[in-house]
Structure 1
Amino acid sequence: MCLKKDNITQQLTEKEAALIHFFYRHKNQMLKREQILKSIWKNDDFFSGRSMDVYISKIRKYFKDDSRISIDSIRNIGLVFKIID
């Protein structure tokens, strides 16, 4: 799967694509970390959580030049994938 913007194409890993798809389906909603982990990693243990943090960091970099899209962390709760139309 690829992410395209302008003339730039970014090849995505399976997990990156699954996360972006999950976030998009739940855009502008507060998502609990456990909900994301159980949906994508099928468990919510410590190591999966750390892995998710790495993937989210990478995804944030992919969208950094698009001011309409952000992934906001809500401390001790979860994340919000915000898209401004």
Structure 2
Amino acid sequence: MANIRPSSDLRNKYNEISDFCNKYNEPVFITKNGTGDLVVLSNAEYERLCGKNELHRLLSEGLDCITPTSGIPAEDVFADIESEYGFGEV
């Protein structure tokens, strides 16, 4: 369930908001005059979300580089691995 607080709580109950964000890794939504204004996160949760976003960006970039002719046949990849590490030899 969303934790929604008025902007006055940010000033008057900062420690309570900070404790909640750090304990539950959940955001606190701050309203200003009854309208959504800010979202407060713990630093750890913010870093996790940034890392997740960066991972998605890199995966998308990698997928965009794939074309039907850009790959190496699986048989060749496995043959190289077997050759390099001695698999398949008796």
* Structure-2-length-normalised TM-score: 0.23
Greater helix share, 1 or 2? 2
Larger Rg: 2
* Structure-1-length-normalised TM-score: 0.24
